[in-house]
Structure 1
Amino acid sequence: MQSQFSQQVAKIITLVVITIALSSCVSNKEILYFQDADQYSQDNVQYQHNTIQPNDILSVTINAAIPEAAIPYNKTVSSATTINSIDILKLQGYLVNPEGFIALPVLGKIKAAQRTNTELENLIVARLEEGGHLINPIVSVRLLNAKITVLGEVKQPGTFNFTEQYISVPQALGYAGDLTINGRRDDVLLIREVDAKRTITHLNLTATNWMDNPEYRLKPNDVLVVQPNRAKVKTAGYVGNVSTIVAIASVTLSAIILLTR
């Protein structure tokens, strides 16, 4: 009688473990990227210029035909300082304040926010020429603290700096070591704040139709959030993961067999 009871309990525990294991599995459709790549047709790549935002750090360099004439319009850098680090460059850069302005030598405050780098370059050139400061100046503006943040089910979540002018979603996920097996690839959140507006977009990495959208290329300060897939959520609702459940079930079964002998 006790032997039959222990056998029934063992069958029940085995059935529960198998059920949990099967419910925690994921299919290929949930973990493969760009599943319709064979149907994707070649298309022209469209680049959108990013606009300058508050808290950006800019490098602004002003040159002229006579280099000495442009010296007063650039920040003075100590000759003992070797600019070979991005961190040093940031300290020498111009911080865009919450109102969107930067303060340049001689020229004073200039509205930088909501302008592209090219637009700001043209504005500074116009100020220099119209004010009789320099003739045919050359102005270069570059963002020094471009960064993106990747959170959630990735191998190395964190904030990553980049020096390229454009970076794509796959590149950003590559910085974070790619998604874990528990990452939901059909619903990645993109949180973006541009020109005092915040948007949240859902990206489906298993398809290719979003690659032609503006969201394919990230903007500085974008945040990607990789949500857990159903397998991760289900195992989180139990003890933690399937291996833990199997271990507990094995111990329980062993205890029942010992007690019913």
Structure 2
Amino acid sequence: MRKQIAIGIISIIATLGLTACRTSSNSVTYLQDSDTSQTTDMKVLADYPLRIAPDDQLQITVSGTEPDAVAVFNMPLTTHQKAGEMIVSTTPVLYTYQVSSSGEIDFPVLGRLKVDGLTTSQLSDTLTRRIGKYVKSPIVSTRISNFKVSVLGEVNRPGTLQVTSERLSVLDAIGMAGDLTIQGNRKNVLLVRDNNGRQELHRLDLTSTSLFASPCYYLQQNDVLYIEPNKARQKDTNISQNRQQNLTLVSTIISALSVLASLGIAFLVK
């Protein structure tokens, strides 16, 4: 009889253990609704090209078959000195154009240009046509040099990421941040996006393939991804805080009792 009861208890514990493991797996697995038995073709519906916005830093270079002719359209290379350094770096740095709050830049010869809302390809095409009136077959290259995003919360390496390309997905950013910790909530990731001075909040589910169809799948300048802790992590944090408060209270009581005991002993000695 005792043996049967023991076997029953072991079976219950094993069942609970398997259930817990299954729940944990469902909470940490990415893209759970994808078919693992065959290749799945998921179309990304998002339009990822970056749009130039105020405060962007643009690197624009103009080249062509006549270097002397295109030279006037290029700003001279500059050197720089980092804070705290006594020696100025001799490595030349490409000049960047600061996009003003009105979305404009001052370009050599062409003057003030409206660039806000354009992609870098569109700006390159525009400059190619405008500069083509002065020189033969110009080649214009444009890139955003200060493209960065921040990944915060339950990731292994939270912080700000400097991006060298113009195509960065949510999964790319998470990978650069060292992936989510086991305590990260993969079903309710918060994306904060600045849209012309207005803060937009978007929610993303990393466990669903619907992520690929989200207009936020590809990130934009200054996007912030926040990975909130899951319920287990929040519960552990609350328990730890309560435990710390209890320890503080007990320590205070013990200290008070110790003081009272010392005063009592001193009174009795007298």
Normalising by structure 1, we get a TM-score of 0.73
Among residues 25, 28, 32, which one is paired with 1:31 in the alignment?
28
Q: CA deviation at 1:81?
A: 4.4
**By percentage of residues, which structure has more strand?**
1
Q: CA deviation at 1:165?
A: 2.0
Deviation per residue, 1:133-168 (Å, 9 max, x gap): 223322111111111100111111110101122111
Q: CA deviation at 1:197?
A: 4.5
Structure with higher Rg: it is 2
Higher relative contact order, structure no. (Cα contacts within 8 Å, ≥ 6 residues apart): 1
The letter for the 2-side match of 1:52 is I
Distance in 1 (alpha carbons) for counterparts of 2:180 and 2:187: 12
Distance in 2 (alpha carbons) for counterparts of 1:149 and 1:110: 30
Change (3 A) 1:180 1:78: closer
Number of residues of Structure 1 aligned to a counterpart in Structure 2: 214
1:100 and 2:99 correspond:
no
Instruction: Give the corresponding residue for 1:60.
Output: 60
Distance in 2 (alpha carbons) for counterparts of 1:55 and 1:42: 38
Unaligned runs of 5+ in 2: 1-19, 80-88, 248-270
Distance in 2 (alpha carbons) for counterparts of 1:239 and 1:82: 51
SS of 1:193's equivalent in the other structure is strand
Written as runs of structure 1 = structure 2, the 5 A alignment for 1:59-78 is 59-77=59-77
Q: CA deviation at 1:239?
A: 2.5
Unaligned runs of 5+ in 1: 1-22, 249-261
| 2:189–2:205 CA contact under 8 A, matched in 1 | yes
Distance in 2 (alpha carbons) for counterparts of 1:181 and 1:147: 25
The letter for the 2-side match of 1:111 is K
Percent of pairs with identical residues: 36
| 1:34–1:208 CA contact under 8 A, matched in 2 | yes
| 2:44–2:212 CA contact under 8 A, matched in 1 | no
Change (3 A) 1:100 1:81: farther
Normalising by structure 2, we get a TM-score of 0.71
